[in-house]
């Protein structure tokens, strides 16, 4: 915050046109966040990261979630709330009629009309049907971030021919997210077949010795395939977010290269 802004706020407080509390909130907002006591909503997240703050719903009351959503949507038109149940969706829908709900992924979100999606795409693959909830969290996250997303579900290694029948889809993808529980071997198989970066998501799907996803996590971390990175167990959001960042960065660099190759600059196009 610069000195002129501070001086303006202090004058308004002195003159009585702004209360002390309002002045404090103005200063905090200039610092980039709104202090709601139970939450400090980071309004500068989009400037730093390219995407607004996301609401992680578990542990928060419905009232708190609605108030945080109000703060976010007051400053921008994008909302993403993860691990949301139907009660949370109902409350948010009542306040913001435009929100949508992906029941499988448990995600409440806004998806505005987008003039231009990414040219490349993200492919989200699951080993089994039971992995779909985590995969859908990744799908919606990437879609809200402006990415084209394709799905390829239930193609695990127990019937690997199902995966190989869709090799063309894997070859078209710019980034691939692989979601698998049990022993988590699918990420290594995909990583050995494609040139695209692979983000592996272990899920807590499986019988007792899978240890709620620990077995899949260790398999993915120990993958012998090149270009496989791993997020936390059941973290579809983290995978979708990372995939979107990679895709946007790759396309930004391609645009720069296009400008240089034709001798012009981006402003000339």
- Bridge-based pairing of strands 40-42 and 33-35 is antiparallel
Q: Crossing angle for the helix pair 132-144 and 236-261, nearest 10 degrees? A: 40
Contacts of 159 (CB under 8 A, 6+ apart): none
What mean pLDDT value characterizes the chain? 87
pLDDT in tens, 167-182: 999 999 999 999 999 9
Residue 114 φ/ψ, nearest 5 degrees: -110, 125
Residue 174: both structure tokens together: 């710019």
What structural domains does the chain harbor?
A: 16-109 (no CATH), 121-254 (3.40.50.1970)
Distance (Å, rounded) from C-alpha 200 to C-alpha 221?
A: 9
- Bridge-based pairing of strands 80-82 and 55-56 is parallel
pLDDT > 90 in the chain, percent:
63
Comparing 27-36, 102-111, 254-263, the range with the smallest average pLDDT is 254-263
Q: What pLDDT is attached to residue 51? A: 85
pLDDT in tens, 21-73: 877 776 666 667 777 889 888 887 877 787 888 999 999 999 999 999 999 98
Q: Which of 133, 146, 160, 129 is nearest to 233 (CA)?
A: 133
- The reported pTM is 0.80
Comparing 2-11, 61-70, 151-160, 245-254, the range with the smallest average pLDDT is 2-11
Q: What pLDDT is attached to residue 261? A: 35
Residue 4: both structure tokens together: 């002129």
Q: Which helix (H) or strand (E) holds 103?
A: none
Q: What pLDDT is attached to residue 99? A: 94
pLDDT in tens, 200-244: 999 999 999 999 999 999 999 999 999 999 999 999 999 999 999
pLDDT in tens, 118-165: 788 999 999 999 999 999 999 999 999 999 999 999 999 999 999 999
Q: What pLDDT is attached to residue 253? A: 58
Three-class DSSP category at 32: coil
């Amino acid at each position: 915050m610069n000195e002129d802004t501070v001086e303006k706020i202090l004058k308004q407080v002195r003159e009585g046109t702004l209360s002390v509390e309002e002045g404090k909130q103005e200063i905090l907002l200039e610092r980039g966040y709104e202090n709601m006591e139970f939450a400090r909503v980071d309004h500068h997240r989009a400037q730093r990261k390219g995407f607004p703050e996301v609401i992680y719903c578990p542990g928060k009351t419905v009232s708190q979630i609605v108030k945080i959503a109000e703060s976010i949507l007051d400053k921008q038109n994008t909302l993403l709330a993860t691990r949301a149940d139907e009660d949370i969706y109902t409350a948010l829908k009542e306040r913001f009629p435009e929100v949508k709900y992906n029941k499988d992924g448990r995600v409440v979100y806004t998806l505005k009309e987008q003039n231009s999606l990414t040219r490349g795409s993200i492919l989200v693959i699951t080993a089994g049907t039971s992995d779909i909830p985590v995969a859908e969290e990744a799908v919606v996250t990437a879609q809200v971030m402006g990415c084209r997303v394709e799905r390829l579900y239930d193609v695990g290694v127990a019937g690997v021919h199902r995966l190989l029948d869709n090799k063309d889809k894997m070859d078209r993808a710019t980034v691939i997210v692989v979601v698998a529980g049990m022993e988590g071997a699918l990420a290594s198989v995909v990583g050995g077949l494609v040139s695209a970066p692979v983000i592996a998501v272990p899920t807590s799907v499986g019988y007792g010795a899978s240890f709620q996803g620990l077995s899949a996590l260790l398999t993915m971390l120990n993958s012998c395939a090149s270009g496989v990175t791993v997020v936390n167990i059941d973290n579809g959001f983290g995978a979708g977010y990372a995939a979107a960042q990679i895709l946007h960065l790759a396309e930004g660099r391609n645009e720069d290269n296009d400008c240089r190759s034709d001798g012009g600059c981006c402003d000339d196009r």
